[in-house]
Chain A
Amino acid sequence: MSTETWERVLWKQQPFPDNYIPDSFLSALKKNANFRPYSYWPLSLASCAVTQHISILFIFLVTFVHIYDASWDPRILVWLSIGMFIVGYLVWEILEIYIFGTRLGDFTSLANALKSSVLVFLSLLALSPVLRTLTASTSSDSIWALTSCLLGLNVLLGDYTPPRDPKRIRERLTSVLSMNAAMSGSVVLASRLQDDISVFALMLFSIQMFALFPILRTRILLTPPATRILLTITLTGLSVYLTCKVSTIVTCILICILVFVTFAAPAMLVWSQKYKNELRGPWDVAVPQVR
């Protein structure tokens, strides 16, 4: 009787007390079974997408400030936007060839892109008087507060994940909520401007920055790290340069944010991994494997 070994069964009366702790207690427990530790530099590189987005946001804000105090001519901004659109479209097509290996010379897609861009261009032009007077009865203070919230939301909700399967992202919009927040933010900002052409220029620019660039960015994430680092440095440099002409304090804040996002945040994530404690065992709800 005393030589009997304990068995992990319930149907048998065993000569052990009910609170007997067998040697095999918790032996089925697996800790951090599916855990893949992050390393610092790949994380830092992945955070470049966030850095780029923040830089873009500040470039947009500086542009607004200049248009608002009429130190920049809105017409130049319109031409700049058109130029950016063309450059962006070319980059898009080049990446299409580079990633998917498609042949150049598919003119139907070019015609489609041209058609829809002209459509957006004209409808924005037609809408700008409406947008200009949209918030005429609201005080500017409320607009600044509202815009900060909306743009903050845009940064928070943005989709910065590199696509797992490059074929699947071709038609996907990045986080819809994020883009909507940015567009609403730009609309209320634009409604503070003096004349129709300024409103039109700012809206055109914001579409480039917040709707089209994130789509291009998911594709840029598939390019070699060197390209991404170069792009990030260019954008951060540009944003810091433009911001320092407007305000020193804001520049300091911007630099702090950028350094934090690119270098400190990944380090914190790597550090916090030592607290990772994933418990797996037979009590977990099994995942049925059905073909």
Chain B
Amino acid sequence: MGPSIAMISDFFHPVVGGVENHIYMLSAELLRRGYKVIVITHSHPPDRVGIRWLSPGIKVYHIPFVTIASSATLPEFFTFLPYFRNIILREHIQLIHAHGGLSSLGHEGILHAHLLGVRTVFTDHSLFGFDDAASILTNKLLAATLAHVDAAICVSHTGRENTVLRSNIRPSLVHVIPNALVVDQFKPHQPAKPVSETITVIVISRLAYRKGIDLLVATAPKICAKFPNVKFIIGGDGPKLIDLLQMRERNLLQDRIELRGPMKHSEVNDLLNEGTIFLNTSLTESFGIAIVEAACAGLYVVSTKVGGVPEVLPNDMISFALPEEDDVVRAMAEAIELVSEGRHDPQRAHSRIRNFYNWGLVAKRTEKVYDFAMNSEPTELPERIRKTLALGPFVGPIYLIMLVVDIFFFRVLEWASPREDIDYVHRDWSFDNFVQFAGQHTKKSEKSIENSEFSSVAVGSEE
């Protein structure tokens, strides 16, 4: 039995997205491996507030914080501490795992953790540059947080290099653990489609600049002109939708380019099954889960060679293009030729992906990082102060003040709300216990129905 873990992030269910899904799947897998896992995130008024349970037994705390943009809360630095202390104590948490470089809740959790002797792990899911104002600010925030972290996880080797550069963290603390997918959700078309004349190219992406939709707009008409048997189906929504519509109108390609609009995650596999080639034109991508999903559904992948994309698939399952109009056309031509000659076997691709990526493996590797964090030497206060001051002549003192104020604030909380007054969780939810109790109950009620005041006591120990 490993440590009790709290996942902390601004990004969690009911919002849908890569980080959200990662936290959920990892938590579920860790629960299966016998860990205790809770999730702390912000609330979604009016109805998703307080404590919620998600199948298969993930307890979610929704902290009443206001979000500013894209589901991120304001970096407040102190306001989380009362909630944090209470939850960590009552749930007997020994390790917190924060997710997302832009999640201020996660950052704050890491900054407070040392007060309660809790160890910290941080997962960075995205890539950032160094040359715009937003990046400079968020990189400084990240550096300040990661100075206090016991271990970090990145989803690709490129992401790791990026995180190390951005935050000045010791590279040996940073682990690379890729994302994974539920392989059974992405199956090739059954029965296997015969090699047909028409080749359908699938694009599923948020239609935004960073996803390289400009490249798609430039190359789609050229590919259509060059290969009369190629058809596009584009799924997704976003600000660049209008550009795609205009391109289709201008080139009279209404019958060759189909726009499906926004789609649910459950519809993705059906759409993927309609095609044979998946095109990804992203300009930046830390992992590129969409590529793996498409490959898993038996599609041949064409992608721009950016970020962590070159790392995710073996070279015979993917063709790379530079983010240039002509090169995308070239790579597409290569892929169309390969697919029309029947050299790509969807079933084989699917079974290969099954061996590459699964959440069980991710959880097993994450477990090792938890052990690494738990066994590392805790940073003492003088060392913390030294690290904080090393952040920079301007940020260092600011963070030092916050560190000191935080300690005093913690003392005040210890006095104002003593530990013995907290409602502790004594027994955790366990599916086996539930089955056992339910079984007993059924047997008893069979024996004597009048003895039915024995209800489902102590199924969990929840308030």
A: residues with CB less than 8 A from B are 8-13, 17-19, 21, 25-26, 28-29, 278-279, 281-291
Contacts and interface: CB of A to CB of B under 8 A. Distances in A.
A108 B313 CA distance: 68
Contact of A18 (B131, B177, B307, B312): B177
B173 interface: yes
A25 B161 contact: yes
Contact of A289 (B159, B177, B324): B324
Given A10-B157, A284-B129, A290 B215 contact: yes
B192 to A, nearest CB: 23
Contacts of B176: 10, 18-19
A287 B157 contact: no
B210 A285 contact: yes
A291 B356 contact: no
A26 B158 CA distance: 9
Given A11-B357, A285-B129, A290-B325, A18 B369 contact: yes
A11 B177 CA distance: 10
A289 B328 CA distance: 10
A18 B368 contact: yes
Nearest to B328: A288
Contact of B284 (A13, A19, A29, A284): A284
B18 interface: no
Interface centre among A10, A12, A284 (most CB of B within 10 A): A10
Contacts of A29: 161, 165
Interface of B: 127-131, 151, 156-159, 161-162, 164-165, 171-178, 210, 212, 214-215, 217-218, 281, 283-284, 286-287, 304, 306-308, 310-314, 323-325, 356-357, 361, 365, 368-369, 372
A289 B325 contact: yes
B308 A10 contact: yes
A222 B127 CA distance: 43
B131 A278 contact: yes
Contacts of B314: 9, 11-12
Interface centre among A28, A29, A282 (most CB of B within 10 A): A282
Nearest to A11: B356
Contact of A288 (B158, B159, B178, B214): B214
Contacts of B159: 283
A8 to B, nearest CB: 5
B311 A9 contact: yes
B127 A8 contact: no
Nearest to B132: A285
B283 A10 contact: no
The 6 closest A-B pairs by CB, nearest first: A18-B175, A286-B323, A283-B127, A11-B356, A283-B162, A10-B178
A289 B323 contact: yes
Contacts of A279: 130, 165
B324 A21 contact: no
Given A25-B161, A26-B161, 6 more contacts: A18-B369, A281-B158, A283-B161, A283-B307, A285-B306, A286-B304
19 contacts: A8-B311, A11-B178, A12-B356, A17-B175, A18-B369, A19-B151, A19-B175, A26-B164, A28-B158, A278-B130, A281-B161, A283-B159, A283-B162, A285-B306, A288-B323, A288-B324, A288-B325, A290-B215, A291-B218
B129 A283 contact: yes
Contacts of B306: 282, 285-286
Nearest to B356: A11
A290 B165 CA distance: 30
A286 B215 CA distance: 11
A288 B172 contact: no
A101 B124 CA distance: 59
Contacts of B127: 283
A134 B175 CA distance: 70
B157 to A, nearest CB: 5
Contact of B283 (A12, A17, A26, A285): A285
Contacts of B174: 19
B284 A28 contact: no
Contact of A283 (B158, B215, B356): B158
A52 to B, nearest CB: 32
Contacts of A8: 157, 310-311
A167 B308 CA distance: 44
A283 B311 CA distance: 13
Given A10-B178, A279-B165, A288 B173 contact: no
B162 A281 contact: yes
A286 B218 contact: no
A21 B172 contact: yes
Given A9-B311, A278-B131, A283 B157 contact: no
